[in-house]
Structure 1
Amino acid sequence: MVDDPLTFSPDINSTLVGRAQGLYAFSSQEESSLMMAMTFSFLEGKYNGSALSLLGRNPPFNTVREMPIVGGSGLFRFARGYAQARTNTFNLTTGDTCVEYNVYVLHY
């Protein structure tokens, strides 16, 4: 289960714009791969109260991972698109990870 901050940039002092909430689990017997179900819930600006839903396979050791955006709410109703994830930092000792998501969506 995750309930992580969504910030404008990777800087720890960056502006909080929402929360990444959902779950992920290892889903492959041959390689490190996660199945992710996550909602990006926005708390600031014109997207306040809106959300995007991501559902897909995430091989975390690939440089760039692409996952589908399968829907949304609020200003993102009927959203379709994809997200590209890139690991910005990973601390092997603590397990803390900062991931950059670039999201491309079409919505009404």
Structure 2
Amino acid sequence: MYHHGGRGLPGRCCRTQWAPRYGRAWAGLEIPLPAACAPDAAMIIPVRCFTCGKIVGNKWEAYLGLLQAEYTEGDALDALGLKRYCCRRMLLAHVDLIEKLLNYAPLEK
């Protein structure tokens, strides 16, 4: 789905079809807090499943808690209600890159 600039297919472009359904987080992105606001540098987990759009961002801490309580990965995902494999992969395949990204300062102009 590409943006058509208001021409061509009304109601079929990316802005009119996806934005009302998913809002600003339709791509599963979450804006990180600056380091001064978040001294613990929390995880940046995608808000929604990339494939089906189910909210998965609020399940990350519960998932980690279940893993620490000796649940297997599959049992923890079942307990959280993640049945579809597209949603399950969002938690299983997540890699925490925020610690590496915080090492680089933005360029100053």
Q: Hey, which of these two has a bigger chunk of helix by percent?
A: 2
TM-score tier (shorter): under 0.3
Query: TM-score scaled to structure 2, two decimals?
Result: 0.25
Query: TM-score scaled to structure 1, two decimals?
Result: 0.26
Q: Which has the higher contact order (CA 8 A, sep 6+)?
A: 2
Structure with the greater alpha carbon radius of gyration: 2
Q: Hey, which of these two has a bigger chunk of strand by percent?
A: 1
